[in-house]
Amino acid sequence: MDKKTSDVVFQIADFVENDLDTLLEIALALVGLIPGMSMVAKIIDLLVKHRSKIMLAAGLAKKVSSPTTAGEDDEFANSEEQLCLEQSDPKELFLSLVEDAKADGVVTDEEREYLIPRGLRAGYSLKEIEQMLVIK
């Protein structure tokens, strides 16, 4: 993992380490009073929804970037969230990415471009991936 990528991962982890519930309350109190606040609330909501997965993924990524510190940052690996090992199947893991992408009701072109090669790598055909990305 290069430094820029790891910096981004650490930033995202920092967001999650914030007291998101408090932030969400403040954002909701300010929505309507401040024009940009609804977008901020969306960001916080996104982080809240994916909090446990972000912590797990960032924990893994952090250990990758700093293997010598493995064991010192177990706070990222939230033991409350246990990865179902059925999901170790690359296809299942890709399906979870698709679910995450669709969670906000929109799959943007950028998300589509990001997901398609990963779906192909997981063993899905392009047609199958396109069908998965359709929001019904």
Partner 1 sequence: MGFLDGLLDSVNKTASDIASGISGKQEPSISSIFDNSNKADSCWTSRKPLYDLYVSLRAMNFNVPNDYDSFERMLTVGEKNNEAAAAQCRHKIYEEMVTKKCGAPNTYSAFYSVLFEPISKTASRAKSHYISDVQQSKPADASQSNQSFFGSLSDSISKAVDDVASTIGDVAGDVAKTVSDAASVATSTIGQWADDFLGLIVIKLRELVGQIDFNQTIADVEKVGKEKDIDVAPMVKFLKQLQDFAANGQENK
Residues 28-57 that bind partner 1 (CB under 8 A): 29-30, 33-37, 39-40, 42-44, 46, 48-54, 56-57
Residues 84-103 that bind partner 1 (CB under 8 A): 84-97, 99-101
Residue 20, judged by CB atoms within 10 A of its CB (0-12, 13-18, 19+), counts as middle
Which residue number, 42 or 126, has a Cβ lying nearer to partner 1?
Answer: 42
Nearest 5°: the CA angle 98, 51, 73 is 115
CA–CA distance, 119 with 111 (Å, rounded to integer):
12
Please compute Rg for the chain using Cα positions.
17
Residues 11-30 that bind partner 1 (CB under 8 A): 11-12, 14-15, 18-23, 26-27, 29-30
Q: Kindly determine how many residues on this chain lie close enough to bind partner 1 according to the rule CB under 8 A.
A: 80
